[in-house]
Amino acid sequence: MKNEEYRMKTKTLGSAALAGLLLVLAGCAATKPDVDASHANDSTLRTTLKQGVAEPTIDANGKEVSAAVKARLIEAFDKQAAKDGIAVSPTGVPVSITIEEYSKRSTAARIMLGVMAGRDHIKAQVKLLDASYQVEDSAHSTVNGIGVVAEDVGIEAANGVAELAGVPIPTEQTTASSRQ
């Protein structure tokens, strides 16, 4: 009887520990781009964007954003735009991404303190032609740092372009929720 009781307690404790770990690791929260409905139905804008966009330029807006973070954001934008069917070329419609909010945890703090170390966060304004929208992502986990946040912001930015172009966004994407 004691052996059975011990097994049940161990199983319950193990399940609780696993659930807690999953909650800690799931600390990345992406948002869907908030595209203004008046631009989403603009047929001229749709036609123009379907012909392609330029690789985004990033304005750090006085924030200390590393070249590596910018590169991950742009690379994720390019990959997602291709998945969405939007060409990225030097002659495409200019896309600018202005960082409005930026916070980065140190790697040591993120690993040692996890969610207690705060969060990595990027909030940005995406502009192309006369349309603009915001994208934002945060990570609280020990696993996901500012690089993953930058990738998610790049993905959201590309999905916003696809939405403005009237292109259906593929349901299977590389986003924060599929990385967890």
pLDDT digits (tens, 9 = 90+) for 139-159: 866 667 788 999 999 999 999
Q: Output the pLDDT for position 106.
A: 67
User: Tokens 């896309």 sit at which residue?
Assistant: 95
Tell me whether residue 57 is in a domain.
Answer: yes
Q: Flag whether 34 is in a domain.
A: yes
Whether 5 is in a domain gets the answer no
CA angle in degrees (0–180, nearest 5) for 111-178-105: 25
Q: 142: closest CA among 121, 113, 178, 122?
A: 113
Q: Residue 121 forms beta bridges with which residues? A: 103, 138
Pairing relationship of beta strands 96-103 and 28-30 according to DSSP bridges: unpaired
Look at 10-24, 66-80, 121-135, 146-160 and tell me which has the smallest mean pLDDT. Answer: 10-24
Q: What is the pLDDT of residues 80-132, one digit of tens each?
A: 999 999 999 999 999 999 999 998 876 666 566 665 556 778 999 999 988 99
- Nearest residue to 27 (alpha-carbon basis) of 156, 171, 152: 152
Q: Which domain holds residue 139?
A: 28-171
Cα 60 to Cα 37, 48, 84, 145, 158, distances in angstroms: 27, 27, 26, 18, 18
Q: Is the separation of the CB atoms in 32 and 153 below 8 Å?
A: no
pLDDT(75) > 50: yes
Report d(CA 135, CA 142) in Å as an integer: 23
* Angstrom distance (rounded) from CA 58 to CA 49: 19
Rounded CA-CA distance 70/94 in Å is: 17
- Domain assignment present for residue 166? The answer is yes
> Nearest Cα to 142, choosing from 171, 105, 170, 177?
105
**Greatest extent of the chain over all pairs of C-alpha atoms, in Å:** 75
Q: What is the pTM of this model?
A: 0.74
pLDDT in the model for residue 152? 95
In a domain, 122, yes or no: yes
**Is residue 75 situated within a structural domain?**
yes
Q: What is the pLDDT of residue 128?
A: 93
180 found inside a domain: no
CATH number, domain with residue 43: 3.30.160
Tokens in use for 48? 């123009």
- The total number of structural domains in the chain stands at 1
